[in-house]
Amino acid sequence: MSTKTITDNETVSTQQIDSSWAIVGKNFLRLVVGNETSSTVELTVHAGIWFWIVAGSTGLFSVVIALVFFKKRTSFKKLEFLNERRKQIAIIVIGLSILLALAPWTEQRFDNYVNRLWGSTVYQYSFLPFFPSIPVEYPLVLRYAYPPVWLYTILALFPIWLSNSEFVFPADPASLWVHGVNVNNIFESYRSFVPKTLPALDLLLKFPNILASIGIAILISKFFYDSKQKNAILFMWIFNPFIIFISAVWGLTDALCAFFAILAIYLLFKKRKMLSSLFLALAIATKLYPAFFVIPILNYLYKNQGRNACFKFLIFSMIFSGLIFGSFLILPGGFKFLYELFVFRASPDMVGQNSFGGMSWTNVFSYFNPRLY
């Protein structure tokens, strides 16, 4: 956020300039002082296009490097004094240290803000952050909007920060999002809730996703028997800038979701069908998209272990998913929340609109607008 000082004779005022005034595309600014009006300045706002270019290029480059490792079985020359097992440990320790070092000092301002807001609503103001238990003045865009696992994760970790923080919560919860209301841009609400111990809170809430990111690398490496290929997988995953950004800088729950899903696949190959179905259910209860894994998993089981194994896996997955999602039914408004989660947040939704953004295939299809006559 920057400021602009406006002087009119002896009168001086300061106008805050932040993202609340800007939209993607063309914006027009002009200064009005009394009866005097300045010329109009045209500004074009670009939203994160370079990030996606860098992220995509980095991912492609990492794949190419990994293929070189696999083809030539390239070794880490500078680590020849270590055996292969110790090299793996070194890669994991160094990577984990980088993730932990970045996590406290970085944020995605809105997503990290709502994570701490949801913990505050429960422990400080005694209401759940989803309809209908929220107060009338609670902005709807700030509602909790994910399956149960992430809310339970926040509720498990948030008291640790509370017990070690001296932050004094305001009597009125609306004070935690008042800035967003004042500037008519609710995504600026994070400015109303920036405690001094925010780095510790960010580290705490990102910690499960950091561990999950490291766990994903370890699980993927277990699908390979050659130790040099294991090292290549660990190195290319852990030190991929995009993976670092998602897990440690942004702290998205996708890392935790992907870890549960990959662990389910790994356990499936180990013929641990019940445990596999449990972790697949946890993946679905973290974010819904692993539900699409069910069909290929059932197809694999049917071809390799027969109809009974296929049926058992499906039944166990449904039972575990029902227990996890069903836990919301005992909460006030839980049924309505689950209904909205599965119906109105689907993409495309009931009226054919796409509700996903970012670098995803659903967002690509949103650029096409077929008309049915």
Residue 347: Cβ within 10 Å count = 15
pLDDT of residue 236: 86
Structure tokens that stand for 226 in this block: 């050659």
Beta bridge partners of 212: none
Structure tokens that stand for 57 in this block: 């290029």
| pTM (2 d.p.) | 0.78
Residue 137: Cβ within 10 Å count = 10
Question: Digits of tens for pLDDT over the chain (373 positions)?
Answer: 444 444 545 444 444 555 555 566 677 777 777 777 777 777 776 655 555 666 666 667 666 766 666 565 555 555 555 677 788 889 999 999 999 999 999 988 899 999 999 999 999 999 999 877 788 889 888 999 899 999 999 999 999 999 988 899 999 999 999 999 888 888 889 999 999 999 999 999 999 999 999 999 999 999 988 888 888 889 889 998 889 999 999 998 999 999 999 999 999 999 899 999 999 999 999 998 899 899 999 999 988 888 898 999 999 999 999 999 999 999 888 888 888 887 765 555 544 455 555 545 555 555 555 444 3
pLDDT of residue 135: 84
CA distance 285 to 321: 7
Tens digit of pLDDT for each residue in 193-240? 999 999 999 999 999 999 999 999 999 999 988 888 888 889 889 998
Contact 221, 233 (CB under 8 A): yes
pLDDT of residue 2: 45
CA distance 368 to 253: 29
**Rg for the chain (alpha carbons), in Å?**
24
Structure tokens that stand for 126 in this block: 């005694």
Distant-in-sequence, close-in-space partners of 244: CB < 8 Å, separation ≥ 6: 98, 99, 102
H/E stretch holding 139 reads none
Q: Which of 247, 245, 248, 269 is nearest to 259 (CA)?
A: 247
Q: Which of 301, 334, 336 is nearest to 317 (CA)?
A: 301
Cis ω before 348 (30° cut-off from 0): yes
User: What rounded mean pLDDT belongs to the chain?
Assistant: 82
H/E stretch holding 366 reads none
Contact 308, 103 (CB under 8 A): no
Helices (H) and strands (E) in the chain, counts: 14, 6
Is residue 20 helix, strand or coil? helix
- How far, CA to CA in Å, does 357 sit from each of 91, 284, 327, 360, 362? 33, 19, 29, 7, 8
Tens digit of pLDDT for each residue in 10-20? 444 444 555 55
Contact 24, 45 (CB under 8 A): yes
pLDDT of residue 32: 73
- How far, CA to CA in Å, does 184 sit from each of 61, 168, 187, 239, 258? 41, 26, 9, 39, 36
Contact 290, 277 (CB under 8 A): no
CA distance 107 to 256: 18
